[in-house]
Amino acid sequence: MVNRIRLIGSAIAFSLLFTMCNSKLESIEGLYVGKNFTRNIDSIYIMPNGFYKRIVYNNEGKLIFKNKSTYKKHDSYIEFNDFLLNTNDLIVRDSLNYSSADLINASLNLEDNLLGKMKLVVDYDLDYYYIKQ
């Protein structure tokens, strides 16, 4: 009987923990700032209406890229349309215009770190990601 009560208690605790974690992931809107990009400053602002804004500056503060497009949230990732992939190689161009060949549909994994901050992962090996502010 005692083991059965413990089992039920553990199941309830697990389901509450799972529900709390999922409820945090539901609120994805907000500002995300790129981390570990050494050649530029990158940010994504996810809006509640299915749109996002993206701005990238070089380290001297000169605008490299700016756009607005759509996104779709899935269970464990966000799919961004018209996304300029940043692998720490974006530099200032003569023009801020990028062709459609430069912009892709990108899926970034959505994670919740131990401090409760959400993270969008670009590259696990190079540790490039965006952290929610």
pLDDT of residue 27: 87
CB contact at 8 A, 85 and 101? no
Q: Can you give the C-alpha Rg of the chain in angstroms?
A: 19
Q: For the segment 46-60, what is each residue's pLDDT rounded down to a tens digit?
A: 999 999 999 999 999
CB contact burial 12-45 (16+ within 10 A = b; e otherwise): eeeeeeeeeeeeeeeebeeebebeebeebebebb
* Mean per-residue pLDDT over the chain, rounded: 83
Positions of the chain with pLDDT lower than 50, given as ranges:
11, 13-25
Query: Would you state the pLDDT for residue 16?
Result: 42
Kind of pairing between the strands at 128-132 and 30-35: antiparallel
Q: What is the CATH number of domain 28-132?
A: 2.40.128
Cβ-contact 80, 105 below 8 angstroms: yes
pLDDT of residue 68: 96
The residues that bridge with 41 in the sheet, in sequence order, are 57
Q: Which of 129, 93, 91, 94 is nearest to 112 (CA)?
A: 129
Torsion, Cα of 83, 89, 90, 92 (10° steps):
-170
* Global pTM value: 0.76
